[in-house]
Amino acid sequence: MKLIFEKSVKGHKMSVLPACDVPETLLPEALKRAEKPALPELSEVEISRHYTQLNKRVHGVNSGFYPLGSCTMKYNPRIDEEMAALPGFANIHPLASAADAEGCLEVLETAGKYLCEISGMDDMSFQPAAGAHGEFTGVLLIKQYHDARGDAKRTKIIVPDSAHGTNPATAAMCGYEVVNVASNDRGGVDPDALKAVLGDDTAGLMLTNPNTVGLFDPNILKITDMVHEAGGLCYYDGANLNAVMGIVRPGDMGFDCVHMNLHKTFATPHGGGGPGAGAVGCKKHLSPYMPKSALRDGGEHVQVRSFLGNFLVVVRALTYIMTLGREGIPEAASGAVLNANYLMEKIRGTFAPAFDHVCMHEFVLDLSEFKKETGVSALDVAKTLIDRGIHPPTMYFPLIVHEALMLEPTETESRDTLDEAAEIFRELYQMGYDDPQTMHEAPHCAQIGRPDEVQAARNPRLRWNR
């Protein structure tokens, strides 16, 4: 497929603006750019066709099963889109007065109230634009808290070795030393290992529960108690909230602050990699440290993004929460957990689960034995799934399982879809023994064959050149 620049023809254009109806003011020579930017020149039909072609080479949640572990690819309701596109929201300036933006402020307040109730927190901010951004904000709350107490000793943040890469990266961004704590055989935090690393230099702990291998850590209260006793605070990574929303609350598990991924748990669309929103909640003692907007709120507060955050994403999430309501939220969670366990059961006897135990909303398959026997790796299985129209599960994560495939079906998949998917996994398992070569060379009928990633990294070509 050609790049848009390769379709450009000099003189092709769209007619968007009228002629200027005031006298033209031109830039003085000293401020002008030497040449116009080489942007493509196309008519509307050419643009329309180009993006249609691109769109055909994208797999959305609407295209098929998308069991990406830890990403919660649940269905994105259309009504949420319609509400976010209302001119009454889309055309409001972020610096409109409180009176002029009464509706927007009501959306933020209402969403905040509902999410506080769901998470067991007292206060909510929508300023962070993504999950990692929410993590940054959460750890920033912890940092400000200790700074305000004049406690400069607390230089360490504890992170389980099963944690997502954003956790230690976030801690490092906030100037903390990262202390890894080993997972036990359930992927949970070993309380003895935790005790060994806790001290008066502990600023806090970053944790997700259910954990990154999809299991609920039953020691959670003990863990958060231990951290509090050592004088540290507990931050909850809400990436896995879909398993427990409306059933268990991070605030009841002993966490002081949380972030939630609106683009995972609350069904706002992923957009190919963004925009999302990483709502951050906190208990009262951290409220003074929540981020604010310099121009809207004035004063000396930290700030992590301009204005109040990804407002239109919050509109989507609020519409979703209002649709599900008090009954629908826990039902979605238990539906997600049911679907994951059902799928795991249907695959039983083929690829081995990493932890043969009731899972939460996701489960991990360990293909290391399979690889030893057939030579077929998790990567090969993933690429073969592409040929079957299924988006591959999450790979390379968590780090504590080798040759891992992490599956999260979410609650918005029907039993038939799960049965069909399980059938395909069973077929692929057999194929590993019968026809490994085809799997090594997969995918065969996708948009492209396997890309040369080594070449891409060694000789980066990051833009088109004429």
Question: Of residues 190-209, which lie at the interface with other proteins (CB under 8 A)?
Answer: none
Contacts of 170 (CB under 8 A, 6+ apart): 132, 135, 136, 139, 206
Q: Quick one: which segment of 49-57, 193-201, 226-234, 425-433 binds other proteins (CB under 8 A)?
A: 49-57
User: Do strands 278-282 and 257-261 pair parallel, antiparallel, or not at all (unpaired)?
Assistant: antiparallel
For residue 225, the tally of other CB atoms under 10 A from its CB is 14
Question: Least separation, in Å, of the C-beta of 123 and other proteins?
Answer: 16
Distances (CA, A) of 414 to 64, 65, 145, 323, 393: 12, 10, 46, 20, 18
Amino acid symbol at 432: G
Nearest by Cα to 356 from 7, 236, 348, 139: 348
Between CA 10 and CA 8 the distance in angstroms is 7
Select from 190-198, 370-378, 427-435, 449-457 the region that touches other proteins (CB under 8 A): 449-457
CA 187 – CA 263 distance, rounded (Å): 25
Task: Write down the least CB distance from residue 5 to other proteins, Å.
Answer: 7
* Dist. CA 239–CA 431, nearest whole Å: 34
- For the record, the structure tokens of 239 come out as 């990436």
Stretch that binds other proteins, among 54-62, 195-203, 226-234, 401-409 (CB under 8 A): 54-62
Does 96 help bind other proteins (rule: CB under 8 A)? yes
- Binding residue for other proteins (CB under 8 A) from 213, 282, 332, 400? 332
Of 218-226, 366-374, 420-428, 429-437: span binding other proteins (CB under 8 A)? 218-226
- Could you tell me which stretch among 195-203, 229-237, 270-278, 363-371 binds other proteins (CB under 8 A)? 270-278
Counting Cβ atoms within 10 Å, is residue 262 exposed (0-12), middle (13-18) or buried (19+)? buried
Among 236, 266, 311, 429, binds other proteins (CB under 8 A): 311
Least separation, in Å, of the C-beta of 400 and other proteins? 13
Q: Which is nearer to other proteins, 29 or 192 (CB)?
A: 29
Is the Cβ of residue 196 or residue 295 nearer to other proteins in the bound state?
Answer: 295
Size of the site for other proteins (CB under 8 A): 200
Which of these ranges, 190-198, 228-236, 268-276, 429-437, lies near other proteins under the rule CB under 8 A?
268-276
| Contact with other proteins (CB under 8 A) among 49, 195, 271, 437 | 271
Nearest to 206 by CA among 237, 184, 241, 231: 237
Residue at 361: amino acid letter: H
**Taking CB under 8 A as the rule, which mask of x and - marks residues 7-46 in contact with other proteins?**
-----xxx-xx--xxxxxxxxx-xxxxx-xxxxxxx-x--
CB 241 within 8 A of CB 220: no
Residue 200 CB, nearest approach to other proteins (Å): 20
CB of 453 to other proteins, least distance (A): 5
What secondary structure letter does DSSP report for 122?
S
Binding mask 396-435 for other proteins (x = CB under 8 A): xx-------------xxxxx--------------------
When the beta carbons of 53 and 433 are compared against other proteins, the nearer one is 53
Q: Which of 191, 199, 275, 436 binds other proteins (CB under 8 A)?
A: 275
Cα 260 from Cα 242, distance rounded (Å) = 10
Nearer to other proteins, 303 or 433 (CB): 303
| Shortest separation between residue 433's beta carbon and other proteins, angstroms | 24
437 counts as binding other proteins under rule CB under 8 A: no
How far from chain centre, in Å, is Cα 462? 25
| Radius of gyration, alpha carbons of the chain | 25
The footprint of other proteins on residues 374-393 (CB under 8 A) is 382-383, 386, 391-392
What DSSP state is assigned to residue 177? E
Residues 6+ apart with CB under 8 A from 62: none
Among 112, 125, 206, 216, binds other proteins (CB under 8 A): 216
Question: In the β-sheet with 233-237, what is the strand arrangement from edge to edge?
Answer: 123-125, 278-282, 257-261, 233-237, 202-207, 156-160, 177-181
Q: Provide the token pair at 406.
A: 């992490």
| Helix 311-347 × helix 415-434 angle, to 10° | 60
Could you say which DSSP state residue 249 is in? Answer: -
Between 230 and 382, whose beta carbon lies closer to other proteins?
A: 382
Which residues, numbered 129-188, are part of the site for other proteins (CB under 8 A)? 129-133, 135-136, 139-140, 143, 164-166, 168-175, 178
- Residue 368 interacting with other proteins (CB under 8 A): no
Which H/E stretch holds residue 282? strand 278-282
By CB under 8 A, what part of segment 102-131 binds other proteins? Answer: 102-104, 106-107, 110, 113-114, 117-118, 129-131
Quote the CA–CA distance of 410 and 207 in Å, as a whole number. 21
CA atoms within 13 A on the CB side of 34: 0
Report, in Å, the least distance between residue 440 CB and other proteins.
11
- Of 100-108, 189-197, 200-208, 426-434, the segment contacting other proteins by CB under 8 A is 100-108
